Amino acid sequence: LIVSADKSIAKISPSMWGIFFEDINFAADGGLYAELIKNRSFEFTNPLMGWKSQGKGSLLVINQGAVNPKNSRYVTIELGPGPFYLTNEGFRGIGLKENETYKLSLSGKLLSAAQPKITVQLLDTANKVIAEQQLANFKNDWNTYSVELKSGKTVEKGKLRLLFQGSGTVGLDMISLFPLDTWKGRPNGLRKDLVQKLADLKPGFVRFPGGCIVEGRDLANRYQWKETVGDPSDRKVMINRWNTEFDYRATPDYFQTFGLGFYEYFQLAEDIGAKALPILNCGMACQFNTAEVVANTELDPYIQDAVDLIEFANGDTTTKWGTLRAKMGHPKPFNLDRIGIGNEQWGAQYIEKYKLFEAVLKIKYPDIKLIGAAGPSAGGELFDFAWKNFKLTEVDYIDEHYYMSPGWFLKNAGRYDNYDRKGPKIFAGEFAAHDREGKTPESRNTWFSALTEAAFMTGLERNADLVQMSSYAPLLAHVEAWQWRPDLIWFDNLNSVATPNYWVQKMYSNFKGTDVVAILKDGKTLIGQDSLYANAVVDSGKNQLIVKIVNASGADRDYSLVVDTKKHIEKMAKVYLLQSDVISSINSLQNPNAIVPRELSVVLKNNKTEIKIPKYSFSVIVMDVK
Ligand code: AHR
């Protein structure tokens, strides 16, 4: 293998490897968003979903018209003679950690002369109290009350219980429980272990809020960013597009509180050093239902949402939306520079709509890059139609999606080698190799699926002049509440596990480089000969030469690796090796480290080394250049 290290073939975009976030599989509510109470403001279709009440002679009533017009339901409790309990089950239980502190807050109002005693309790799985605190007396108007509770135990499936004693009538709303230890300690914050896994990827961008969720199950239930900013209690709760009632993965309790909304997405991207990449509804609902489509003459509010979003992200405090951003805590702009119009739409209707967005956005904000979608498939009539028509527009990137077999990923490692360089750039916006079904949630994230993605990604990297962004999808999934698999990271209420696919993404992203250089075997680019796939890059900032090699075969291979350079390569090079002899191996919550990178080294003499590339392996060789 010969690497021509001194000649840059293509520049690598700093945002080449990113992440795709969608609130699917309990990724936001019940996942990344650290709120522990399900249906905190009684706005689910069934207002008491997630809640249980118990207590003879007491009366619990659901009312409309509390403090908040957007989420107007609240409950009143008229106490009977005995104690009354109101319990929340959380999202498949409430994860609590021993000695960690949790903050309960609620809106409360006293509706009687008598003042009941209200105790807040954390319960373990056997309903034993593991922390409790008494709430202050309620006043006669709505106020927020809070207490902090230190958990006496670690439990995966705890509960929150409010115990009412004495007599009287109270009103309750927005009952919320957060760990104090969120990401960066923020109130209304995010689950720390999950954000850490995302930050460790060092992603170049965060795509949000999806996926099909952008479209919604119908247009009334589409994702509208304006409904997701401002005070969290003012964000109107909506049914999640992935709420499923009847199949074996039923999640009828899947709703969006938007506590994790557009401000928090921008903040998350900024925190982890990534570009924000919002995708907006283009006036079309989700393909999986009979798609509802807005008439082109009625598209203005949708286009205005895009215009206003740019103002929200970048406008100064003389602007309406810039003022809101500043009020929420971020006076500086978020420096948004790209947005997507539509998710997986296609056909003439979609192109017409895209053009109407483009006509406004390219004039008002010429520096904002626009992303159009190639539809749901990686080829075929619809795909060709999209490409043909997009070439006549000023679109900057085309978002291609491929959920295919591992074999497809191996065969398509050269997909972009002969793509037209004169058209828009590529955003490989959603991809994953779908291996065989297995019984456990994590079982589709096989080592083989990850290995074939690594092979395919040599082709993305080699074509970095064209492919400028890419993201595996979906990102997050709760092991007890998923609708789609494979996914990059699995979690329960306490822990999370990085799949083999995660490690592949991380090894690419952490060793991204700045320039592609050639790597050849017998004078030819490695795109599958002898089941070998490879690419080489230089990092001019870190003075490194990085070679990525995939051996997708069941036999070890020995090669000499020669670096053709006028520079000096340090003798000791690091090798990060991801390998398993068993291609069906997975990482699971019970066994999270079955497939993790190992750090090895190789010695180079006169810029040359003999190297073993083990069967079923992905190696990243990092050489220091002087
Ligand atoms: O990633 C899961 C879904 O796959 C996305 O919501 C959609 O864009 C695609 O069909």
471 alpha carbon – ligand 1 mean position (Å): 12
Which residues in the chain show pLDDT less than 50?
none
Q: Which residues contact 389 (CB under 8 A, 6 or more apart)?
A: 351
pLDDT confidence of residue 376: 87
Residue 308, ligand 1, Cβ within 6 A = no
Identity of residue 253: D
Residue 232 CB–ligand 1 contact under 6 Å? no
Nearest residue to 172 via CA among 207, 208, 203, 135: 135
Check residue 245 and give its pLDDT.
Answer: 83
Q: Name the residue with the closest Cα to ligand 1, atom 9.
A: 211
> What residues act catalytically?
344
Closest ligand 1 atom to the C-alpha of 214? 6
What is the C-alpha end-to-end distance of the chain, expressed in Å?
21
Atom of ligand 1 nearest to the CA of 20: 1
* Buried residues in 14-43 as b, exposed as e (16+ CB within 10 A): ebbbbbbbbbbbbbbbbbbbbbbbbbbbbb
Q: Whose CA is nearest to atom 6 of ligand 1?
A: 211
Domains detected in the chain: 2-11+516-624 (2.60.40.1180), 17-33+185-242+260-374 (3.20.20.80), 51-179 (2.60.120.260)
ipTM for the whole complex: 0.98
Which residue, by CA, sits nearest to atom 1 of ligand 1?
474
Which segments of 280-405 does DSSP mark as H helices, in order? 300-314, 320-327, 347-364, 381-390
Whole-number pLDDT of residue 212: 94
Q: Which of these, 256, 254, 263, 269, lies nearest to 478 by C-alpha position?
A: 254
Choose which residue among 281, 282, 288, 343 to substitute to test ligand 1 binding: the one with the highest number of ligand atoms within 8 A of its C-beta. Answer: 343
* β-bridge partners, 54: 85
DSSP, residue by residue, 155-169:
EEEEEEEEEEESS-E
Distance 88 CA to ligand 1 centre (A): 31
CA atoms within 13 A on the CB side of 545: 30
Task: Give backbone dihedrals phi and psi of 463, rounded to 5 degrees, phi first.
Answer: -100, 35
How far apart CA 507 and CA 497 sit, in angstroms, is: 16
Candidate of 401, 402, 471 to mutate for ligand 1, largest count of ligand atoms within 8 Å of Cβ: 401
- CB of 442 closer than 6 angstroms to any ligand 1 atom: no
Amino acid at 129: V
Residue among 284, 341, 344, 399 to mutate when testing ligand 1 (max atoms within 8 A of CB): 344
CB contact at 8 A, 492 and 472: no
Give the contacts of 106 (CB within 8 A, at least 6 positions apart).
Answer: 135, 144, 145, 146, 172, 173, 174, 175, 176
C-alpha span between 6 and 1 (Å, rounded): 15
Please report the sign of the dihedral spanned by the C-alpha atoms of residue 327, residue 196, residue 235, residue 95.
negative
CB proximity list for 183: less than 8 A, separation 6 or greater: 34, 189, 190, 191, 192, 195, 196, 271
DSSP conformation letters of 472-507: ES--EEETTS-SS---SEEE-SS-EEE-HHHHHHHH
Within 10 Å of residue 281's Cβ, how many Cβ atoms? 25
pLDDT at 17: 98
Report whether residue 223 contacts ligand 1, using a CB cutoff of 6 Å: no
Task: Give dist(CA 405, CA 449) in Å, integer.
Answer: 8
How far apart CA 403 and CA 415 sit, in angstroms, is: 15
Taking CA atoms only, the protein residue closest to ligand 1 atom 7 is 211
Helices and strands (H and E) in the chain: how many = 9, 35
Phi, psi of 455 (to 5 degrees): -65, -45
For ligand 1, atom 5: residue with the closest CA: 211
- Residue 286 Cβ inside 6 Å of ligand 1? The answer reads no
Neighbours of 228 (CB within 10 A): 22
